[in-house]
Structure 1
Amino acid sequence: MHDEEFGVEIDTVQEIIRMINITEIPRAPPYVKGLINLRGRIIVVINLSTIMRVGSNEPDANTRIIVADVDGTVMGFIVDSVSEVIRLSAKSIEPTPSIITNKIRSEYIKGVGKINERLLILLNLNKMLSSEELIHIQNMSSEIAEVAAT
């Protein structure tokens, strides 16, 4: 997002896909971009930039959707791009400096990974939504699945 580099734990990621057509949901919260049909599975897509309040770029050829399991609910997160999969050792992850938590809510961040001369802000996808927001997404997903099944 913008010029910062972020990372997420690969354990929660099911797959990373190119941006596809997203169907908007009337009266959805601002952070919900809409729905995608991923090989017959209807998935709610979240705009990560909106949640993090860092501004949003227009989707382009590099935009991706990270499909992840968040507390048992599969959802997609729109990101500007995905560049690589990196293995970080626990000793290369440091606590988050306050200068970062001044800009991004601290619960969104697991730490900062050091990779050579780069710093990678490690996001906690399980904390991106409040418990109320997650319940709302889970209810939305259930309702959509019921409608799709009929």
Structure 2
Amino acid sequence: MKVIVFQLFENQFGVDVSQVRSIERVVEITKVPRVPSFVKGVIHLRGAVIPVIDLKERLMLDEQPLTDDSRIILLIVNGYEVGAIVDAASDVVDIPLEAIEPPPQMMAAGVDMKFLRGIAKLSDQLLVLLDLDRVLNTEEIEQIFEGEGLGT
């Protein structure tokens, strides 16, 4: 499995590279009314208007100000393009499937279990693998897009 590795606080997370369109520097985010609090607004990028979420807030982790290392990972989730703010994006790694274990029964890295795909044991660290289809389910995405007329 090939994953993009990114950081939220001191923890390393990963998502399947097939769901990542690009990694961008943080640009100005325009606030949008009547969306869930984890939706920070929208950005205009390469002719498209893209909603942006704060991944830490969505995963119910503490908030932290943006830094020069902060990035927006453009993700394709259930056919929609969504930006996710992360503290840093560091690497693309190949993970052997046998190195991936189901999430432990208790919460890993303070993240709600339903958002986890598994935990990968790498030689020098543990990598929390996110299930993006659960982090943003279809109903939430449609509410963000259709509730504000963003279209697809």
TM-score by length of 2: 0.88
C-alpha offsets along residues 87-129 of structure 1, whole Å, 9 cap, x if unaligned?
1111111111123359322121100011102100001111112
- Which has the larger share of strand? 2
2:63 aligns with: 56
Asked if residue 97 in structure 1 is aligned to residue 130 in structure 2, the reply is no
Asked if residue 18 in structure 1 is aligned to residue 31 in structure 2, the reply is no
Distance 1:114 1:88 in 2: 9
Would you say how many aligned residue pairs link Structure 1 and Structure 2?
145
1:3 to 3, 10, 25: 10
- Which has the larger share of helix? 1
Distance 2:69 2:147 in 1: 28
C-alpha offsets along residues 47-96 of structure 1, whole Å, 9 cap, x if unaligned?
11111111121111100011011000111011010111111111111111
Distance 1:102 1:54 in 2: 9
The 10-residue stretch of structure 1 (2-11 or 102-111) with the greater mean CA deviation from structure 2 = 102-111
Distance 2:52 2:41 in 1: 5
Amino acid at match of 1:75: V
TM-score by length of 1: 0.89
Distance 2:47 2:11 in 1: 34
Bigger radius of gyration, 1 or 2?
Answer: 1
Structure 1 runs (4+) deviating above 4 angstroms are: none
Distance 2:96 2:129 in 1: 13
Distance 2:109 2:67 in 1: 29
Distance 1:131 1:101 in 2: 24
1:86 aligns with: 93
1:41 aligns with: 48
Distance 1:52 1:14 in 2: 21
Q: Secondary structure at the match of 1:97?
A: coil
- Note the residue ranges of structure 2 that are not aligned, 5 or more in a row: 1-7
**Deviation at 1:133?**
1.3
Distance 1:102 1:24 in 2: 29
2:150 aligns with: 144
2:140 to 122, 130, 133: 133
Change (3 A) 1:102 1:62: closer
**Deviation at 1:9?**
0.6
The 10-residue stretch of structure 1 (73-82 or 90-99) with the greater mean CA deviation from structure 2 = 90-99
1:75 aligns with: 82
